[in-house]
Structure 1
């Protein structure tokens, strides 16, 4: 058996001392590979698996897998290739430990012949994208349809980067942010699949902790999720990226980090809202966040948080629209930074993706423009209401107080804009 780096019972006392337990091991000069395996005796325990190389963050599997392999030119999804001599650390995220503790064993093998799972390819198809809808936009701008939250096999998703790129096309999207948990191993691979399927893939990272999640967008390198949320915002800002507070009122990962100013964006509409489209919790959290300095520039975005087929929804649920000069990652993120965003339901009643005809509410030359919303009700932040009686209605920008939303006659949200 491979010698153990760690073989002992971990308890709540260990979790109290260090939420992220670092287990060191040495990699000699000339080593060709590193293979690590985590063994946990109690299936009710949730222990995340990550790794630090001597000079950089190597990657994160979370709870999606209990082993990984790193070689010079390839690595298990979620981890970066490259083997350097020195002190490495296996990083264990002690997310949930049983009351009586759990026996944990960590093994590391040098020069392993263990295989690295390949990235799967998907057939290339051509579909009409959201931008084909020709939504009215300002001079030199186009409204592009996308999704700011999705996962692949590089964290706990079930589809490869190429497969999720194909899914974005089949969902009618122009762009998709790939936001795997606590890793950027997917960033270097986005370009090839984006070009192959003719869809924009935005580099992202979902900073994932027990105190809340955030999306870090842009080609800005890895951001240390083990630091406080304020550090995330400061660091992303310094590097020229955008930070979004993700699903701020979701289950056991609602936002609890303290910020001294507003984030660049808020994932106000997350797939969890589809459990009840009449829920008011997102509006409640927005009323708190809008008191932070700088909130007037915070963009509202949406994300499906897609992981796998069969969960009842797909990409673009909801759909985020960005008015941008083109659909390059830089232009899409510049549109978000400028606040040119809107969110729509993006699907038909049978959950079929439909960014082309679903109701849409957006800003146009300072006014509000409601599209495909005949019969809906326009609602402002103060609860003022106004019936929409045609398929295209322009409302003076001085009516009401944002953010605004369209809802159907039984109060289910259909579209949002600031």
Structure 2
């Protein structure tokens, strides 16, 4: 499987950004990204520059739009055509998300716990979600140095609560990128796992996001596999109910990704496997080695409805989560 570095929340001067799509794509390429989703507020007009931007930079540009309303912002990615955001009222986000899906896209909550009015009108999520399966993902890390922000910690806990309720929904990061400005703040990346490497990257990336085949990080890529009944299941997959009682888990940390684009200074890290039953395994690691390292764990599968991997360490003197995978589920 090929994992690609994606930025799923961006803006140009077609809404409130201060950059062209070409400038955005060029900046993303310099940071080691392979694809971006253009998600201007309530418009897709910026995509008129898509072909030229892709040709000049080699960047894959996924069409999208951020539905920007008084009740919250919903990021839509992978649309084949414009879907009218004005249909969404406080109780109608599910119908809106369904319309997005009918046009090839996925829909997710953007920065759900960011301050709302009067600081940022509509930025705080107020939509009433009757069925959580109407949405495909939650943007749990938003902005720069995302994991240390209180609103992002709330979003991450909110996602975990949904998993514990039996909702199968993905988690992503989004820079909410508006301009080309120099920064030394840690940048989070959403990696999407492409199963069909012969398919168009944009289409396969959207399919991966829809299936929850994603991992988020400030640096190294963390991946997860589970072996049950002689079969291997990856991130986003569901393991059938008939199980042996023991589960073989393989977690890998790839420090070769986006080489030279990130730096973590702490000498030790902790890899944690956690799920609906709490923490099920831990492993202390040395700092990023510039290679791919893997560890295997045997854990009981009874009582588990989901499991994920988290990488914890110190960034700029702050003990924080550095990376996490999406879940593997259990039927």
Instruction: Tell me if TM exceeds 0.5.
Output: yes
Q: Give, in angstroms, the shift of residue 277 of structure 1.
A: 5.5
- TM alignment of 1:338-357, pairs within 5 A: 338-345=211-218
Q: For residue 362 of structure 1, what is the aligned residue in structure 2? A: 223
CA contact (8 A) 1:268 1:301 kept: yes
Please tell me whether the aligned partners of residues 144 and 187 of structure 2 are also in contact (alpha carbons under 8 angstroms).
Answer: no
Query: Residue 415 in 1 paired to residue 295 in 2?
Result: no
Instruction: Tell me which residue corresponds to 2:209.
Output: 336
Cα distance in 2 between the residues matched to 1:397 and 1:256: 41
- Provide the residue aligned with 1:244 in structure 2: 108
Cα deviation digits, residues 265-289 of structure 1 (max 9, x gap): 2212111663725863123211343
Where do 5+ consecutive residues of structure 2 fail to align?
117-122, 226-231, 234-249, 256-263, 327-331
Cα distance in 1 between the residues matched to 2:321 and 2:96: 31
Q: Secondary structure at the match of 1:204?
A: strand
Q: Which has the larger radius of gyration?
A: 1
C-alpha displacement of 1:292:
6.6
Cα RMSD for the two superposed structures: 2.7
Q: Distance in 2 between matches of 1:183 and 1:276?
A: 31
Match of 2:285 in 1: 389
* Residue in structure 2 matching 1:404, options 306, 309, 316: 309
Residue 153 to residue 313, structure 1, CA distance change in 2 (3 Å): farther
Does residue 144 (structure 1) correspond to residue 4 (structure 2)? The answer is: yes
Shift of 1:304: 0.7
The residue aligned with 2:229 is none
Match of 1:319 among 189, 200, 203: 189
**Correspondence list, 1:361-380, <5 A:** 361-364=222-225, 365-366=232-233, 367-372=250-255, 375-379=268-272, 380=274
The SS at the match of 1:145 is strand
Tell me which residue corresponds to 1:308: 179
Q: Which residue of 2 aligns with 1:270?
A: 142
Q: What are the Cα deviations for residues 68-127 of structure 1, in whole angstroms up to 9, with x where unaligned?
A: xxxxxxxxxxxxxxxxxxxxxxxxxxxxxxxxxxxxxxxxxxxxxxxxxxxxxxxxxxxx
Task: For residue 311 of structure 2, give the secondary structure of its aligned residue in structure 1.
Answer: strand
Which residue is 1:258 aligned to?
Answer: 128
C-alpha separation between the residues in 2 aligned to 1:277 and 1:269?
A: 9
Shift of residue 396, structure 1, vs aligned partner: 3.3
Residues 1:183 and 1:200: Cα distance change in structure 2 (over 3 Å): same
Tell me how far apart the structure 2 counterparts of residues 371 and 388 of structure 1 sit (CA, whole Å): 15
Provide the rounded CA distance (Å) in 1 between the counterparts of 2:280 and 2:25. Answer: 40
Partners of 1:206 and 1:218 in 2: CA distance: 12
Of 302-311 and 317-326, deviating more is 302-311
Offset of 1:216 from its aligned partner?
Answer: 0.8
Q: Tell me what 1:40 maps to.
A: none
SS at match of 2:3: strand
Shift, 1:387, TM fit: 3.2
The residue aligned with 1:186 is 46
Deviation at 1:362, TM superposition (A): 1.4
C-alpha displacement of 1:334: 1.4
1:239, distance to aligned residue in structure 2 (A): 2.0
Contact 1:249 1:285 (C-alpha < 8 Å) held by counterparts: no
369-378 or 254-263: bigger deviation: 369-378
Name the structure 2 match of 1:30: none
Give the Cα separation in 2 of the matches to 1:255 and 1:403. Answer: 25
Asked which structure has the greater RCO (Cα within 8 Å, sep 6+), the reply is 2
Give, in whole Å, the separation in 1 of the partners of 2:147 and 2:322. 14
Structure 1 gaps of 5+ residues are 1-140, 346-357
**Pair 1:290–1:199, CA change in 2 (3 A):** same
**Offset of residue 187 of structure 1:** 2.3
CA distance in 2, matches of 1:152, 1:361: 31
Q: Is 1:243–1:264's contact at 8 Å kept on the other side of the alignment?
A: yes
Cα displacement (A) at 1:385: 6.3
Q: Which moved more, 1:388-397 or 1:246-255?
A: 388-397
Number of residue pairs matched? 263
